[in-house]
Amino acid sequence: MKILVANLGSTSFKYRVYDLGDPSEPLLARGAVERIGSEIATVRIPAAADGSAPAWEETRPIKDHAEALAICLNHLSHPDHGVIESEADLAAIGFKAVHARGISGVQRIDHTVLEAMEAFNAVAPAHNPPYVRAMRDLAARFPSLPLVAAFETDFHRDIPEFRQVYAIPSDFRALGVRRYGFHGASHRYIAGRIAQLLGRTDLKVISCHLGGSSSVCAIEAGQSRAASMGMSPQSGLPQNNRVGDFDPFALPYLIQETGKTLDEILQILASRSGLAALSEGSGDLRDIEADAARGVLGARLALDHYIDGIRQLLGSYFVILGGADVIVFTGGIGENSQVVRAGVCGGLDWFGIQADEQRNREARGEASFHAANSRVQLWTVPTNEELVVARQTRDLLIQATSC
C-alpha cells in the first residue's frame, strides 16, 4: 500500500511516499515544490529518497498545488527512476491537517470536512486556507484518488477537560473555544519511538517539538496529558514570526494607540512578531544564536525569552505528570541546537535533570545526552510526522474496507 503524504504551505508542496505494504515501511521517494503560483516555481526532487544523492531541480511556472502534484506524479511514475506506474498505484494522499471546527481525528476529505476547516480559517490563518484550497484543487484534478486529513489536534483528545477549557461562559465554550494542542503527529511519533528505544510503555515523557513552530507536550503511557498550544497554533511558545501567548486585552489598547484595525494588528502578531520581533532581525534561531554570541542585545533577549518559556513549561509538566522519566528534544531546533538544550536543562539538578556537556555538543540523530547520575534521561530524537500520517491514512482505508 503506497501512500503519498502532503505537507502544504501557502506556496509550497512537500511530499513523501511510503510503502506501508512492506513491514519495514520504507520511504520510497520525497520532493518539494516551492513558490507555487509564480513564474519561477522550483521543483526539487532528490535522486535518492534519503537525500544522499544530489537533487534534480527545475524552475518553471506552476499555477497551483494540483499542478504541482501532477508534476511530482510524473516524476514518481518516470520509467527510469519512478516508484509507481501511475497515480492509480497510490492508495491515497494523506494530509497533515491542522484544525477544523467540530472535527478531529482522521477523516476522508469531503465537503463537510472542508467546510469545517474553513470555519476555523480565522483561528489557523497560516494553515487552513492553503490546505483547503489545495485539497479542493486536488480533489477536482484527481477525483479517483482518496484524500485523507489527519488532524494535529487528535493526539491531544485525552487531555482532561478541566485542562482543555478556558474560564469563559458556556455559550462561548459551545462555539468550540478551548485549548486544543497541536503538533500532534510529532508528539505521537516521539511517544511511540522513545517507548521503543527505552523498552517501556509506561513512560512519563516531556516532548519538546522546537522549530520554526514550537510546542511542548506532557505524555504519560503514550497519551497526551497537557499541551502548550491553545485554541490556535498562534499560541504557546513564541514562534519564529508568531507571537505565542498574548493578553487579549492588549488588543483594544494597540488599536487605540496605533490607529490600526484589529485585522492589521492580528496580521502583525501572526507574521511579524515572535522571535523575529524580539531580535529585531531574523526569526531563524541559527541567526539568533550567532548574533547573541556576538553580543547583539535583541538576539540575546529573544534567545533568553524562548528558553525561559520552555523551562516554565517543563516545571508545569513535572507537576502534572508527577515527575518525568525522559525529556525528548525534536524539531529543527530541538535536534540541532545544543545552546537551547543546554539552556533548558541547565541548573535543574534538584529536578533530577543533569546534562552531559560533551554528549550534548555531540548529540546527533537519536542520541542521549544526560549525565550518568541524571535521574531524568535526556534525548534528541528526529521526528517523523509524515510516517505517522501515512500510518493513520492506511488505518482509515483498512477500516473503511472492512465495514
CATH code where residue 72 lies = 3.30.420.40
Q: Of 92, 125, 150, which residue is a domain's last?
A: 150
Looking at the structure, tell me whether residues 241 and 349 fall in a common domain. yes
C-alpha cell of 63? 499555477
141 lies in the same domain as 279: no
User: Does a structural domain hold residue 369?
Assistant: yes
Distance CA 332, CA 286 (A): 10
Q: Is residue 298 part of a domain?
A: yes
What pLDDT, on a 0 to 100 scale, did the predictor assign at position 53?
Answer: 62
List b or e across 347-364, with b for residues whose CB sees 16 or more CB atoms inside 10 angstroms.
Answer: ebeebebbbbeebbeebe
Residue 360, annotated ligand binder? no
**236 annotated to bind ligand:** no
Same-domain check for residues 136 and 284: no
For residue 333, say whether it is annotated as part of any ligand binding site: yes
Residue 320 lies in a domain: yes
| Burial zone of 23 (CB within 10 Å; 0-12 exposed, 13-18 middle, 19+ buried) | exposed
Is there a single domain that holds both residue 144 and residue 238?
A: no
- Name the region of 296 (left: φ>0; alpha: ψ -120 to 50; beta: rest): beta
Cell 520552555 -> residue = 310
Asked if residue 169 has pLDDT above 70, the reply is yes
Are both 87 and 209 inside the same structural domain?
A: no
Does residue 115 lie within any of the structural domains? yes
Is 291 a known ligand-binding residue? no
* Tally of domains in the chain: 2
Q: How far is CA 6 from CA 95, 150, 382, in A?
A: 5, 11, 19
- Burial classification of residue 294, based on how many CB atoms lie within 10 Å of its CB (0-12 exposed, 13-18 middle, 19 or more buried): exposed
Work out the percent of the chain whose per-residue pLDDT is above 90. Answer: 77
268 marked as binding residue? no
CA atoms of 315 and 342, how far apart (whole Å): 16
Residue 170 covered by a domain: no
Q: Is the pLDDT of residue 50 over 80?
A: no
Q: What is the pLDDT of residues 304-316, one digit of tens each?
A: 999 999 999 999 9
Is 402 among the domain residues?
no
Question: What is the Cα–Cα distance from 229 to 269, expressed in whole angstroms?
Answer: 15
Residue 49 pLDDT exceeds 80: no
Q: What is the DSSP letter of 193?
A: H
- On average, the pLDDT of the chain sits at 93
Rounded Cα distance between 173 and 368, Å, is 42
Asked whether residue 145 is assigned to any structural domain, the reply reads yes
Per-residue pLDDT tens over the stretch 199-257: 999 999 999 999 989 999 999 999 999 999 999 998 999 999 999 999 999 999 999 99
Both 222 and 349 in one domain: the answer is: yes
Claim: this prediction has a pTM higher than 0.85: yes
Question: Confidence class of residue 67 from pLDDT cuts 50, 70 and 90?
Answer: confident
Q: Which of 13, 81, 26, 22 is nearest to 53 (CA)?
A: 81
The answer, yes or no, to whether residue 117 has pLDDT greater than 90, is yes
385 assigned ligand-binding residue: yes
Please report the sign of the dihedral spanned by the C-alpha atoms of residue 181, residue 186, residue 189, residue 193.
Answer: negative
Let me know whether 359 and 237 are in one domain: yes
Asked whether 140 and 109 are in contact (CB, 8 A), the reply is no
Kindly state whether residues 294 and 356 are assigned to the same domain: yes
- Residue 74 is predicted with a pLDDT of 84
At CA 179, angle to CA 103 and CA 205, rounded to 5? 100
Q: What are phi and psi of 364, to 5 degrees?
A: -140, 140
- pLDDT computed for residue 168 by the predictor: 97
Q: Which domain holds residue 20?
A: 2-150
Alpha-carbon distance of 319 to 27, in angstroms, equals 39
Q: Does residue 106 lie in a domain region?
A: yes
Binned at pLDDT 50, 70 and 90, residue 395 comes out as: very high
Structural contact between residues 379 and 5, judged by C-beta atoms closer than 8 angstroms: no
Residue type at 256 in one-letter notation? Q
Task: Say whether both 116 and 209 belong to one domain.
Answer: no
**Is the same domain home to 204 and 144?**
no
pLDDT at residue 401, as a whole number: 85
335 is in an annotated binding site: yes
334 belongs to an annotated ligand binding site:
yes
Residue 140 shares a structural domain with residue 219: no
Q: Is 7 annotated as a binding residue?
A: yes
14 marked ligand binding residue:
yes
219 among the known binding-site residues? no
At 385, the amino acid letter reads: E
Residues 235 and 358 placed together within one structural domain of the fold: yes
